[in-house]
Amino acid sequence: MGFFNFLTRKQFSGGIAKNRLKFVLIQDRATCSDKLLERIKNGILEVLARYIDIDNEELDIQISRDKSENNQDLSILCANIPIKNIKKIE
Amino acid sequence: MGEVIVVTSGKGGVGKTTCSANIGTGLALSGKTVALVDADIGLRNLDVVMGLENRIVYDLVDVVEGNCRLKQALIRDKRYENLCLLAAAQTKDKDSVNPEQMQKLCLLLKQEFDYVIMDCPAGIEQGFRNAIAGADRAIVVTTPEVSPVRDADRIIGLLMSNGIDNIKLVLNRLRNDMAKRGDMLTIEDVREILAINILGVVPDDEIIVISTNKGEPAVANQHSNAGLAFNNIVKRILGEDLPLHNFDDTDNFISKIKKFFKIKIK
């Protein structure tokens, strides 16, 4: 580490690597989980179908990334499930 | 009943075979019975790293196809009692074995040995699926660079979806001087990115090249940094709770003097 690096405020390559990896892994993990998402979707549908009528066509499930209050990376499972009708259970 | 540990990485050339050889030898030196299995069919390597290349008669595919008994294919290492090698076939391809056959083989080996160390081929295809089929736990090897870390993440996901939950990381070829000045991913960076327990850190050490040239695993040489690192890894596998060693000695004044005298004594 040279003294003048401090003056020029060069970003060290280790930090660059870390940031790039964090970003690329978010994308990788999201694509890897396509099959998993499909299974989650079917599982949720199975349970919900016992109680409500769902619009299967319009169903949308996604995993997205967000920051929590203390600025930590969070994965969030978002499900948009349009309800057609609620079944009456005796 | 023993335990099957698969050593894998996704990316090639990060030191799977070196890790397998050193961990296997280290466990044998600690008094455990060990079978080293080269699952890289078609690209046999573990035998040369172990210095046993001249003693192979039968290989893994011969055992699976029933051309010989398992005992006949296991090469006993004369230097380390307790250590046996099952070599990969050199002339066949990865598809000559399937995961069910590997599971059966692992069960047989587990009855005979305390530890079965499975050296996995690079990639995530058939060879990988074969190597992990009978594994109880996994060691993922990576170096502190972007592409091996990315591949390690993918491998960890694949191992988990195959029901292997006990996964630990070996960070290989760390250059402490570079990490210290910020030009290499640090132990903490890798731990944070992959969110995984670290089994050990092996410094970049020329002793690895030298010992591989000779066919003698570095773990037998406790005076080297890499040898020491592999010894610590072996102790952690055996259940000891050791802190991660900081191989900082190149900057240390006392160790510089020590090094100086070591050279003089030679």
Cross-chain residue pair B193–A28, CB shorter than 8 Å: no
pLDDT of amino acid A29: 81
Look at the block and give the residue holding tokens 């573990």: B46
Q: Which residues of chain A have pLDDT under 70?
A: 1-10, 31-33, 65, 67, 71-75, 89-90
Q: How close B189 comes to chain A (CA, Å)?
A: 7
Cross-chain residue pair A12–B154, CB shorter than 8 Å: no
Q: How close A20 comes to chain B (CA, Å)?
A: 8
pLDDT of amino acid B7: 98
Instruction: Quickly count: other Cβ atoms within 10 Å of residue A74's Cβ.
Output: 11
Candidate from B178, B185, B193 with C-beta closest to A25: B193
Q: Is A28 helix (H, G, I), strand (E, B) or coil?
A: helix
Q: What total number of domains does chain B contain?
A: 1
* Cα-based distances in Å from B140 to B17, B169, B175: 12, 5, 19
In whole angstroms, give the CA distance from residue B145 to residue B149.
6
Candidate from A14, A25, A32 with C-beta closest to B182: A14
Count Cβ atoms within 10 A of the Cβ of residue B261 and give its class: 0-12 exposed, 13-18 middle, 19 or more buried.
exposed
Q: What is the DSSP letter of B147?
A: H
In whole angstroms, give the CA distance from residue A65 to residue A20.
16
pLDDT of amino acid B192: 94
Q: Letter for the amino acid at B63? A: V
pLDDT of amino acid A87: 76
Q: Which residues of A touch B (CB under 8 A)?
A: 1, 12-15, 17-18, 20-22, 24-25, 28-29, 32
Cross-chain residue pair B182–A28, CB shorter than 8 Å: no
Q: Are A60 and A79 in contact (CB under 8 A)?
A: yes
Domain that holds residue B67: 3-265
Residue A64: alpha-carbon gap to chain centroid: 3
Tokens for A20?
Answer: 């790039």
Q: Which residues of chain B have pLDDT under 70?
A: 246-266
Instruction: Quickly count: other Cβ atoms within 10 Å of residue A18's Cβ.
Output: 21
Helices (H), chain A: 3-8, 13-32, 34-49
∠ CA B25-B29-B30 to the nearest 5 degrees?
Answer: 120
pLDDT of amino acid B266: 45
Range A23-40 burial, b when 16+ CB lie within 10 A, else e: eebeebeeeebeeeeeee
| Residue ranges per structural domain of chain A | 35-90
| Substitution target from A4, A18, A32, A73 for chain B, most B beta carbons within 10 A | A18
Q: Using a CB cutoff of 8 Å and minimum separation of 24, what contacts does A25-29 make? A: A25/B150, A25/B153, A25/B193, A26/A65, A26/A73, A28/B150, A28/B153, A28/B154, A29/B153, A29/B157
Residues of B whose CB is below 8 A from A25: 150, 153, 193
Cross-chain residue pair B181–A20, CB shorter than 8 Å: no
Residues of B whose CB is below 8 A from A18: 185, 189, 192-193
> Residue A10's closest chain B neighbor by CA?
B182
In whole angstroms, give the CA distance from residue B157 to residue B179.
27
Residues of A whose CB is below 8 A from B153: 25, 28-29
pLDDT of amino acid B117: 98
Cross-chain residue pair A12–B150, CB shorter than 8 Å: no
Q: What CATH number is given to the structural domain containing B212?
A: 3.40.50.300
